[in-house]
Amino acid sequence: MMPLTFAGRGEPVQIMKINGNAEVKQHLADMGFVVGGNVTVISEADGNMIVNIKESRVAIGKEMALKIMI
């Protein structure tokens, strides 16, 4: 497993684990980041990412991306 920040652009990957406290996990789940879900990195700049998840584009910061394990 590795953080989402290591995913290649345009490469669909599956979420294996989400780290963080209950509040962080719930916040990510509300945005669609759930274990078993697929996510594709659209663009990345300095660790901040725009990803495609559940047919929506979502922007997340590097700190959050590091909590999503693929």
pLDDT of residue 47: 82
Q: What's the domain count of the chain?
A: 1
Tell which residue, 37, 39, 41, 40, has the closest CA to residue 49: 41
Tell which residue, 10, 29, 32, 13, has the closest CA to residue 21: 29
pLDDT tens digits along 2-60: 999 999 999 999 999 999 999 999 999 999 999 999 999 999 998 899 999 999 999 99
CATH number of the domain residue 49 falls in: 2.30.30.90
Q: Is the pLDDT of residue 66 over 90?
A: yes
pLDDT of residue 43: 96
The Cα–Cα gap between 16 and 46 comes to 23
- Grouping H, G, I as helix, E, B as strand and the rest as coil, residue 18 is strand
Containing structural domain, residue 41 = 4-69
